[in-house]
Every structure is written in structure tokens, then in C-alpha cells.
Amino acid sequence: MTSLSTKSIVFHKLIRNVNNYAKRMSSHFIYYPDKERPVDGETTKMNMMQAINNAMDITLKNNPTAVLFGEDVAFGGVFRCALGLQEKYGKDRVFNTPLCEQGIAGFGIGLATAGATAIAEIQFADYIFPAFDQIVNEAAKARYRSGGEYDSGALTVRAPCSAVGHGGLYHSQSPEAFFAHVPGLRVVVPRGPIAAKGLLLACIRERDPCVFLEPKILYRSAAEEVPVEDYTLPLGKAQTLRVGAAATLVGWGTQVHVLLEVADMARDKLGVSCDVIDLQSILPWDEETVCNSVKKTGRCLISHEAPLTSGFGAELAATVQEECFLHLEAPIARVTGWDAPFPHVFEPFYLPDKWRCYQALIQLINY
């Protein structure tokens, strides 16, 4: 009995140490909650998981054609974003699928083409690649190939993405650049609960198929006072979160919060102010907002978790160079993940944290 108690104590200590370790590993950013509300009226505190759940709840309530499906969705999903929805709307509208991402996407395309509103969940964005053919060659091209006779625009594919602190190479990837190359899709990445609810509702109602990538580390670490009522945020439109004159910092998802902290560091340590832009929509992206900012500041730093080579930052850099060349005071900087598989214990060295971004900003300013 004593031996069993000792083993139990050791086990609980181990679990506590693992949890503490995970917290340390996932603390590469400070979360900056949104203060502005997109609409007036009642608000309630939600984390990003709850905000996404609320958006889907509103959709299922108001749209009788809407269905939600994916692996383990019936009990809420591994991140609990669908929690309680099957109980409210029934097994014919919220249900599990086989572990077959290609099948999930293909089923969603069929539903959307037939007139339903399909919300498909891929359990992790790392496993969306078996569905790549269906999304790229079928969903994105349905309207074009049919001459406008039919489309699958009522399809939204949700997928948890990006670093979480302990995910390793198969649960940490950021695949937005793969889909940004595909005409006919919309690709969206929110930075927090208010943005997630408004952007997800916009994607669900959009008449083009959407890939909605959810930074999973924000599911519970991000909390804000979210409007209770129905609202949408415009797709294809960036948000300027800070206004400054020294440089333009561009990111999306979790990386926006890293850049906000870098802007604070630049203000406190260097005495300079920066524009901080959350791109929000990867495809289409808001060229006007970004380029107008760069023309004003003369310097541009782009940061994302995905690898450097052919990351979406390369597209931004090319466009900024073409449109803002005569306004640039320094070469465009990119601070990203490395061109390597996403590591486990070395995750802190892989991520483009505030120190790497801050060093790049110093070099921009001193160029």
C-alpha cells in the first residue's frame, strides 16, 4: 500500500512538472486582448474556443441547412469547439465522421454543392494534406468548371493550426501558404475571440469556400469581452492595431501578439513607434492597407511561424517591393520559422519570438 501511495505521488508530481513545462514552452508571447468592439450591445467574456462555438451555435440556430461534422465533433472535438452543439441540434446536424480527411472535405463539397451550409472540422491542420486535392481541385474550382451553374461556396473548413508549446512536428504546422496559391479559396487566420467569431461567421456566409485556420494555443489563452449578438468582420481586410512612424510590422494569428510586444519594446527602449497590422485574411490579402502603411513608414517587417522559403511573407515582401520601392528606407525583413521540420523540445528556438523580431527591427531602423 505504501509503495502504491509513493508511486501515486511520484506520478502526480510528474504530471504537474509536465504541465508546468508545457506552460513555459508555450509562453513565447503575451496576449493582447482587443479593447474595441465591432458592434454595440451586450458582451460576455469568452476565450477563443467559446467564441468559435458561439459562432457555430448562431449558425446552426438561424440556418436550418447548416451542418457541422468532423472527427470526434459529436462530443465537442478534441479542443471542445463544438461542445454541446449535438445536444442542442441533434445527431443529424452535428456528427462524427471516419478518420478520413479527404472524405470529410469531399463530403462537405457535396453538401455545399447540394445547397447545404457545410462546416467541416479537420482535427489538426497538419492532417489537412490528404484533403488537399478535394479542397484545391474540387471546392476551389467548382464554380469555374461549371460555368457558374453550381459551386461549393457554402463550405467552410476549420482547422487548428500553429504552435501550441508541445505539439512537435505533426501538431504545430502553419499551412496557410499552401492554400494561398489557389484561386477560388479564401484563407483566414484570427488573432483572438472577437476576431474569430466575426471572421468565422463571415466565412460561413461567404459564397466562396473558406479555409479557416485557428491558432490552437489561443483557444484558452486568449479571452476577451465578446459581443453576444450576431456580427461579421469583413474578409480580405486587415486591421491596423497600432499606429506609428518608424516601421510597419505585419503578422497574423498568434504572431500578431508577438509583434505588439515588439512595438512596445521599440517604444520603451528605442523611443520609436510602429504600425502593427493584423492581416487576418491571407487570401485575398489587404494590399492597400499594408502598402499605404509602408509608404508612410519606409520600413517593413513581416513575421510568421511557417518556414521562411515560400512562406506567405514572401508574397507580401514581393508586393511591397513592387508597390513601395521608392518609399523604402531599408530592405524588407522577414522573421519566420526555420526551413526545417517543426521541432519538439527545440520549439523555443524555432519560433520567431519577440527577441528575433526586435533584433530585426533594430537592424531595419539602423540601416
By C-alpha distance, which of 119, 180, 192, 137 is closest to 318? 180
Beta-bridged to residue 283, according to DSSP, are 187
Burial letters 28-40, b for 16+ CB under 10 A, else e? bbebbebeeeeee
Burial letters 233-249, b for 16+ CB under 10 A, else e? bebbbbbbbbebebbbb
Mapping DSSP to helix (H, G, I), strand (E, B) and coil, where does residue 252 land? coil
How far apart, in Å, do the first and last CA atoms of the chain sit?
69
* Residues in the chain, overall count: 367
- Cα separation of 273 and 248, whole Å? 9
- In the set 71, 101, 206, 305, the catalytic residue is 101
- Cα separation of 298 and 45, whole Å? 39
CB-count exposure of residue 266 (10 Å: 0-12, 13-18, 19+): buried
329 is catalytic: no
In degrees, rounded to 5, the angle at the alpha carbon of residue 129 between the alpha carbons of residues 128 and 131 is: 70
Beta-bridged to residue 156, according to DSSP, are 119, 210
- In the set 28, 71, 121, 171, the catalytic residue is 171
229 is catalytic: no
Active site positions, annotated = 101, 171
